[in-house]
Structure 1
Amino acid sequence: MVALSALFQPVKLGGKQLNHRIVMAPMTRIRADDNHVPIDLIREHYEQRTTEGGLLITEATLISPNAGGGPHIPGLWTREHIDGWRSVVDAVHKKKGVIYNQLWHKGRVSSSLLMPNNVKPVSASAIAIQGKNSAGQDYEVPRALELDEIPQVIQEYATAAKNAVKAGFDGVEIHGASGYLVDQFITSSSNKRTDKYGGSIENRARFALEVIEAVVEAVGPEKTAIRFSPFGGFQDMNDDTPYETWGYILDQLKNKHPNFSYVHFTEPRLNITNDTGFTDTDDSLDPFRAKWDGVFIASGGYTYDPKLAAEVAETTGNLISFGRSFTSNPDLVERLRNGFPLEKYDRSTFYGGNSRGYADFSNYIQQ
């Protein structure tokens, strides 16, 4: 790969200028302290992966104590959380990088064991995920959010966005993908409501659009982004009409917020549960690309095929986000720029632990 590739061409993102189009994808790593505060090890991890004019998106960050919990997952609702994240942001900015925080509510993916007072997790509808959770247990049946509860949840996204800006983040990415709360409202398999938040595409999209509206009002459109995953089945998510559903959302975004920072879509071919990264599909992100005039980030499977990343960037102008390869290659941008080999990631260290597999990988040294 060479520097003339479209991956290494500059692009404007919100109020920032990026020097290249390689993005560090949001990745859950579970290294915060017992109170969800980012520790110095997290600062070190992001600092190592910062490049001048490069975009990093943080791991999913809980927007409130009610957002699904989980030990050592970072949060963004207390002064301590803000201060912890500020040390991360300052380190990235010192190296002239750009960093967004990903705002997260887990919805039905959580467990009453992780919720305040052991209350049931919430969702769009009282429909459990089929299959077993990470502990090998059946997922709980969630409680459908009541109409009068929804504004409070939306406000929690907006408050977390404000807290992110207080911490110095350049923007926020709403987690609207991978079967979490925003996605649970959008997707037909998880939303069987009969009120104004269910049924038609317009109604199922309402929650996502209201979250976006609240965050835009809180921090501005140039600092607001969202991630989507229209295809796949991960965490029991399947929509009847993905092109129409997410196409409608993009149309609304385009009309209401032409200065929106970016949209981030997961490729339909991605299979995050194995180490090949790919699954056969006839689906494509191209219809969504065609609708969107602003910055478009494509994610999914590029760890396994960096040449494809260069091709997609060349043909579409997209930014490309890398996940697993960024875990083990802090200098990923330079490795791709120079065609250096990539270090294999260590899956056993992904979720929790110490610096091993997190902050102990070295930059490439030419022989």
Structure 2
Amino acid sequence: MTSTGLNPESKLLKPLKIGHAQLQHRIALAPLTRYRSDKNHVVMPFVPRYYSERGCIPGTLVISEATGTSMQEVGGRAAPAFVTEEQSAGWKKVIEAVHDRGSVYFQQIWALGRAADPQYQKERGLKYRSSSAVPMQPGGPVPEAMTEEEILGVIQDFVDTAKRVVAAGGDGVEIHGAHGYLLDQFTSDSVNKRTDRWGGPIENRARLLLEVVKAVVAAIGAERVGLRLSPYATFQGAESTDIVGDYTYIVKELKNMNVPFAYLSLVEARGDPAKLLTPSDDPAIAKQTLDFILNIWDNLSPVIVAGGYTPESAAAALESHYAKWDVIVAFGRSFLANPDFVWRAQHGIKMNHYHRQTFYIRGSEIGYNDYNFSQEYIDERRAWAVANLDSATS
């Protein structure tokens, strides 16, 4: 053991309700792109095992990898979608596997826009598109600016996919409005150069994000809807020149909807994928807090935060920085490497280390289902089984 584990009275281990779903603690599996789907964008048969193992402690919030809302917005080989009957059936098995463990399941859904693979789009006869004709990198492929009809189609795709998730048994959806994907490509003034009602001032740039949220809420109920935002992210070139002003407007508009969202998910400045891939010691990062958003939100519903936490630092943050708010902490790389992550955190068991080189091996169980449970967890489950389950004797 590395420690005695978390204090049983830690706020991180206290129950919390999100929408209609009851959590037994405040540790969540963060959404993690893994590319474990086939050529038809159907999750592989081994995917239910991965998610169910990470929901092995009852009452855990399991959030899926980002999932395409249309074939246009799948955007890459072996990326998952929740569109066709076959794709929906695959995800239904995942949802059932998580529920069999007694845990809670939300499907993260997205549209990629210019974050899609331009060559893959071309091969399929689909447009490479974004809010504006602005490349992701200087000299890179230039996307086509979307038409009004296409924008309205994106809204409907989110609605239709959310309905499919609920029909498959999901507890809810998390709308991906972060990290430079399509909704963020409209919000960001570094990408969105439009002059119509979808561009210009933040009231227009945020229109697509807010219209998607409103439409999905109307379709499946606010209690089943979460939203992810990354105010400080520079990933994929979607930056805002007025972060506080833009996100103050967005969060106030969300709050003015006056509905009981399941949760708001926020990525801290240090959780920006661009910074995780190239760590920085810039002291300014520590000053880029989410406090202005949480103060506006004012516990309308729980807030999920992500930012490279350990169980110990997360527990400390909930007792100090986030003490006055209902906060859940999402863990990514450490959770993918430890299917019994919650149990290890509770009991102070040494964690497996993740293997970055196998994060995105398309269609393979390597780097996916080859992380071990701790022997201590296995021993406890065996002891429980002997005490509680009928066994045949020879």
Indicate the TM-score class for this superposition, using the shorter chain for normalisation: over 0.9
2:201 pairs with 1:227:
no
SS of the aligned residue for 1:152 comes to: helix
Q: Compared with structure 1, are the counterparts of its residues 277 and 172 closer, same or farther at alpha carbon in structure 2 (3 Å cutoff)?
A: farther
Amino acid at match of 2:239: N
268-277 or 103-112, larger mean C-alpha shift? 268-277
Is the 2:233–2:273 Cα contact (8 Å) retained in structure 1?
no
SS of the aligned residue for 1:149 comes to: helix
Is the 1:2–1:338 Cα contact (8 Å) retained in structure 2?
no
Is the 1:270–1:301 Cα contact (8 Å) retained in structure 2?
yes
For 1:86-97, list aligned pairs within 5 A: 86-97=92-103
Counterpart for residue 362 of structure 1? 372
| TM-score (normalised: structure 2) | 0.87
Q: Distance in 2 between matches of 1:152 and 1:272?
A: 29
2:125 pairs with 1:118:
yes
Aligned with residue 330 of structure 1, among 339, 350, 358: 339
What's the C-alpha RMSD, in Å, of the aligned pairs?
Answer: 1.7
Amino acid at match of 2:217: V
Amino acid at match of 1:321: A
Q: Distance in 2 between matches of 1:279 and 1:167?
A: 44
Is the 1:36–1:75 Cα contact (8 Å) retained in structure 2?
yes
Q: Distance in 1 between matches of 2:59 and 2:280?
A: 30
The structural deviation recorded for 1:269 is 1.7
Q: Which runs of 4+ in 1 moved over 4 A?
A: 273-279
The structural deviation recorded for 1:279 is 4.9
SS of the aligned residue for 1:2 comes to: coil
For 1:51-200, list aligned pairs within 5 A: 51-115=57-121, 117-130=124-137, 139-200=140-201
Q: Distance in 1 between matches of 2:110 and 2:154?
A: 11
Amino acid at match of 2:162: A
2:19 pairs with 1:14:
yes
Q: Over residues 16-73 of structure 1, what are the superposed CA-to-partner deviations in whole Å (9 max), with x where a residue is unaligned?
A: 1110000000000001111111122111100110021110100010110111421111
SS of the aligned residue for 1:239 comes to: coil
2:49 pairs with 1:37:
no
Is the 2:337–2:353 Cα contact (8 Å) retained in structure 1?
yes
Counterpart for residue 317 of structure 2? 312
Q: Over residues 135-186 of structure 1, what are the superposed CA-to-partner deviations in whole Å (9 max), with x where a residue is unaligned?
A: xxx6311111112321111100100111111111100001111100001011
Q: Over residues 250-308 of structure 1, what are the superposed CA-to-partner deviations in whole Å (9 max), with x where a residue is unaligned?
A: 11111114301111010012253546866531211111111112110001211xx3322
Amino acid at match of 1:157: F
SS of the aligned residue for 2:86 comes to: helix
What residue ranges of structure 2 are gaps of 5+ in the alignment? 1-5, 380-394
The structural deviation recorded for 1:114 is 1.8
Amino acid at match of 2:313: L
Q: Distance in 2 between matches of 1:213 and 1:158?
A: 10
Is the 2:74–2:81 Cα contact (8 Å) retained in structure 1?
no
Q: Distance in 2 between matches of 1:46 and 1:106?
A: 23
For 1:275-286, list aligned pairs within 5 A: 279-280=281-282, 281=285, 282-286=287-291
Q: Distance in 2 between matches of 1:279 and 1:253?
A: 33
% identical aligned pairs: 40
What residue ranges of structure 1 are gaps of 5+ in the alignment? 132-137
Q: Distance in 2 between matches of 1:283 and 1:245?
A: 15
SS of the aligned residue for 2:361 comes to: coil
Q: Compared with structure 1, are the counterparts of its residues 56 and 112 closer, same or farther at alpha carbon in structure 2 (3 Å cutoff)?
A: same
Q: Distance in 2 between matches of 1:11 and 1:119?
A: 43
Q: Distance in 2 between matches of 1:148 and 1:310?
A: 47
Aligned length: 359
Is the 2:74–2:116 Cα contact (8 Å) retained in structure 1?
yes
Is the 1:27–1:323 Cα contact (8 Å) retained in structure 2?
yes
